[in-house]
């Protein structure tokens, strides 16, 4: 179950940029394939995506408009993320990495695009070029995984997150974010049962998910 928190960071007055994205948009189709179809992420697709974002990297900073960090900041405030090792997947030019740096001493920023990583500030954290479809991370080794406007690889998220680990999913333009899934879709895509919180913040939204605890506790000593 995902609980909806009240909004504390309201959306700015002009919330629409007129750019309405539908489910048939190519990047939306890839987003759904990766999240829901086994084999949806191929080597060919990885190369295409890497080249696409390499090309976009020099101008990506233009998207860092005032208030874009609101969902991550709100999630850090109210999402119960805890501390420990934080890994940001699809970190791009490091916009969210800079915000995460304020909370996490152990922070890894990972992206498939070398050009995106090159344009990220080195002081924001350790940067690694890798494909999130095949993470160079040990099983159950991560405390907090952060995905901002990024494809969801459900089995890798489940594999690398520790038993008490949390996933922070952020869409910085809400349902107008090109790489977008509803919080309930993120929950449905992940293996097993998950629960969490979600809220709108500024133009965007965030959702924090953790593995669901068993609802019925065993009585001590009864074996039942
Ligand atoms: C829409 S951009 C978002 C960048 C950044 N999180 C932001 O919000 O500014 C998606 C990012 O994910 C990266 N990406 C896409 N597929 C990836 C993959 N399989 N593994 C790692 N990074 C990936 C892209 O290179 C790009 O930097």
pLDDT tens digits for range 41-61: 999 999 999 999 999 999 999
Centre of ligand 1 to C-alpha 173, Å, is: 15
HEC per residue, 10-31? CCCCCCCCCCCCCCCCHHHHHH
In a domain, 121, yes or no: yes
pLDDT at 224 over 70: no
Which of 27, 110, 112 for mutating ligand 1's site (highest number of atoms within 8 Å of CB)? 112
Tally the residues of the chain: 224
Assess if residue 184 is contained within a domain.
yes
Q: Has residue 117 been placed in a domain? A: yes
Plot region of 174 (φ>0 → left; ψ -120 to 50 → alpha; else → beta): left
Report if residue 220 sits inside a domain.
Answer: no
Instruction: Please report the beta strands in the chain, taking only residues with DSSP state E, as ranges in sequence order.
Output: 2-4, 85-89, 106-111, 126-129, 142-148, 161-171, 194-201, 204-211
**CB distance 97 to ligand 1 below 6 Å:** no
Domain count, the chain: 1
- Compute the distance from residue 36 Cα to the ligand 1 centre, in Å: 18
Can you give the residue range of the structural domain that contains 119? Answer: 2-6+21-211
Report whether residue 147 contacts ligand 1, using a CB cutoff of 6 Å.
no
The answer as to whether 13 is a domain residue is no
Q: Is 150 in the pocket of ligand 1 (CB under 6 A)?
A: yes
Residue 55: inside a domain, yes or no?
Answer: yes
Mean pLDDT of the chain: 92
Q: How many angstroms separate the alpha carbon of residue 6 from the centre of ligand 1?
A: 29
Q: The CATH number of the domain where 35 resides is what? A: 3.40.50.150
Q: pLDDT tens across 162-195, in order?
A: 999 999 999 999 999 999 999 999 999 999 999 9
Residue 221 is assigned to a structural domain of this protein: no
Three-state secondary-structure class, residue 81: coil
Q: How far is the CA of 196 from the centre of ligand 1 (A)?
A: 23
- Phi, psi (rounded to 5 degrees) for 211: -65, 140
14 lies in some domain: no
The confidence band for 216, taking pLDDT boundaries of 50, 70 and 90, is very low
Predicted confidence (pLDDT) at residue 221 exceeds the cutoff of 70: no
pTM of the model: 0.93
Exposure letters 116-125 (e unless 16+ CB within 10 A, then b): bbebbeeebb
User: At residue 19, does pLDDT exceed 80?
Assistant: no
d(CA 76, CA 162): 19
């Amino acid at each position: 179950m995902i609980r909806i928190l009240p909004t504390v960071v309201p959306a700015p007055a002009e919330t629409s940029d007129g750019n309405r994205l539908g489910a048939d948009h190519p990047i939306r189709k890839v987003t759904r394939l990766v999240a829901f179809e086994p084999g949806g992420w191929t080597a060919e697709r990885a190369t295409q995506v890497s080249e696409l974002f390499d090309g976009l990297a020099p101008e990506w900073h233009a998207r860092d408009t005032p208030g874009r960090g609101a969902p991550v900041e709100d999630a850090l405030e109210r999402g119960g993320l805890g501390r420990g090792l934080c890994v940001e997947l699809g970190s791009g030019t490091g916009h969210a990495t800079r915000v995460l740096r304020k909370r996490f001493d152990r922070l890894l920023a990972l992206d498939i695009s070398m050009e995106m990583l090159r344009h990220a500030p080195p002081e924001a954290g350790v940067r690694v070029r890798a494909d999130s479809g095949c993470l160079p991370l040990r099983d159950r080794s991560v405390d907090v995984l952060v995905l901002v406007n990024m494809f969801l690889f459900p089995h890798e998220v489940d594999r690398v997150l520790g038993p008490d680990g949390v996933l922070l999913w952020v869409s910085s333009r809400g349902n107008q974010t090109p790489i977008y899934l509803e919080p309930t879709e993120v929950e449905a895509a992940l293996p097993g049962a998950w629960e969490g919180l979600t809220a709108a913040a500024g133009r965007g939204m965030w959702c924090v998910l953790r593995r669901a605890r068993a609802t019925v506790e065993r009585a001590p000593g009864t074996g039942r």
